[in-house]
Amino acid sequence: MSYDISSLRKFVSPEIVFGAGSRRSVANFAGNLGARQVLVVSDPGVEAAGWVAEIVTLLTEAGFGCTTFTGVSPNPRVDEVMTGAELYRAHECDVIVAIGGGSPMDCAKGIGIVATHGRHILEFEGVDTITNPPPPLILIPTTAGTSADVSQFAIISDPNRRFKFSIISKAVVPDVSLIDPEVTETMSAYLTACTGVDALVHAIEAFVSTGSGPLTDSHALEAIRLINRNLAPLVQNTSDPALREQIMLASMQAGLAFSNAILGAVHAMSHSLGGFLDLPHGLCNALLLEHVVAYNFTSAEERFRRVAEAMDIDTRGMTNARVKQRLMERIVDLKRAVGLEARLQELGVTTSDIPYLSGYALQDPCILTNPRKSSLRDVQVVYEEAL
């Protein structure tokens, strides 16, 4: 009996503990994973906010040894992964805990890969390149957007190529994700906006992806609904715990959707852009979103109609052309409401950069699940429209 493999869908997820205070269970989970010496990975901003000290205290009071590595840039670099892996080996660590945004979490994933293979992180670019299981990994996100805490992606910057490359493997799905809205209290309004729009892009791209299916669709649509209704109010009032929890939940659901359905052209182009100019990933996504929606719309009209409905647009009686117009207007309105209105040229991108950016975007694995097949010229045109 034959079957159509293209119709099959799998779903990977960490063990998730969601809710205020969930970070405080870190020592319990470290013990469950057999820890003796823990490498705690973070960045200077999260350390300054006091979260690293709290996690280290929780672990040491429970009897675990702790080594901290906080030398992670906003876009984690190849050399930082290698430094962290050397620290992991030198201190004979056996479990990794990362607390921070996407950068420390992705760096921690890279450290685990290098620690168990003894090879350079650049050798693992691409899909399913990992042969040895990385060490146990516990992630505690401090931003509501990147979803590295639930995904099978690690995104690392290679400064030599000025390019962000992707490592995609279920081996980098963390063992445990402690999703605690309380730790997002220290985010600025700007970072709240950037990461929130990142989560929106995750959800939209996952829903229209060629890898989408019933296991991911409900997560993607609910994430879109939650972000559409709660992100702008949260940016206006970042201390509201109820709003923070809603956006944290949206980020988690968007992450579960895109980790399994994969993404599309916004992320392929954003990774290229972020590596080139070292810009915040969520900002890159925001600048490209409506332009990629316009490009993709005719290839997934019914799917985009459902995206529009999830963004509270009443599409009854609307032609597809009108749905496309209203959806793009709603995206632009939301970006304006959260203060992400810049154009690419305001950030230093010029027409002469576009061939370079487009070449790398076409090499990104995310382009493979974009609903509309993209040529080099297609990608160049979208970048030009976003200038």
Ranges of each domain in the chain = 9-184, 188-386
CA angle 164, 370, 129 (to 5 degrees): 50
Under 8 Å between Cβ of 83 and 102: no
Q: What does the pLDDT average to over 244-261?
A: 97
The pLDDT assigned to 124 comes to 97
Give the pLDDT confidence score for residue 279 in this predicted structure: 83
CA distance from start to end of the chain: 53
Does residue 10 register a pLDDT over 90?
no
Residue whose C-alpha is closest to residue 176's, from 11, 12, 14, 13: 14
Summarised one tens digit per residue, pLDDT across range 300-350 is 999 999 999 999 999 999 999 999 999 999 999 999 999 998 899 998 999
Pairing, β 15-18 against β 37-41: unpaired
pLDDT band with cut points at 50, 70 and 90 for residue 162: confident
Calpha distance 180→149 (Å, rounded): 11
Which region holds residue 42: left if phi is over 0, alpha if psi is between -120 and 50, else beta?
Answer: beta
Q: What is the DSSP string of 350-385?
A: -GGGHHHHHHHHHHSGGGGG-SS---HHHHHHHHHH
State the pLDDT confidence band at 40, using cuts at 50, 70 and 90: very high
> What mean pLDDT is predicted for residues 138-155?
95
- Mean pLDDT calculated for residue range 125-141: 96
Estimate to the nearest angstrom the gap between the alpha carbon of 175 and the chain centroid. Answer: 17
Indicate the pLDDT class of residue 275, thresholds 50, 70 and 90: confident
User: 244 near 234, Cβ under 8 Å?
Assistant: yes
Average pLDDT over residues 173-192: 95
Does residue 48 sit in helix, strand or coil? helix
The model's pLDDT over 63-105, given as tens digits with 9 standing for 90+, comes to 999 999 999 999 999 999 999 999 999 999 999 999 999 999 9
For residue 179, give the DSSP letter: E
pTM of the shown model: 0.95
Looking at domain 9-184, its CATH architecture is 3-Layer(aba) Sandwich (3.40)
- Rounded CA separation 267/158 (Å): 17
Per-residue pLDDT at 371 exceeds 70: yes
- pLDDT score, position 380: 97
pLDDT category of residue 3 using cuts at 50, 70 and 90: low
CATH of domain 188-386: 1.20.1090.10
| Token reading at 378 | 């297609």
Q: Between residues 10 and 331, which one has the greater pLDDT?
A: 331
Q: Which helix (H) or strand (E) holds 69?
A: strand 65-69
Query: Can you tell me the distance from the alpha carbon of 115 to that of 107, in angstroms, rounded to the nearest whole number?
Result: 12
Q: Tell me the average pLDDT of the chain.
A: 95
CA–CA gap between residue 174 and residue 295 (Å, rounded):
34
Give the number of other CB atoms < 10 A from CB of residue 96: 29
At residue 2 the predicted structure's pLDDT band, cuts being 50, 70 and 90, is: low
The answer to whether residue 1 scores a pLDDT higher than 60 is: no
Percentage of residues of the chain with pLDDT beyond 70 = 99
Least-confidence region, from 156-170, 228-242, 251-265? 156-170
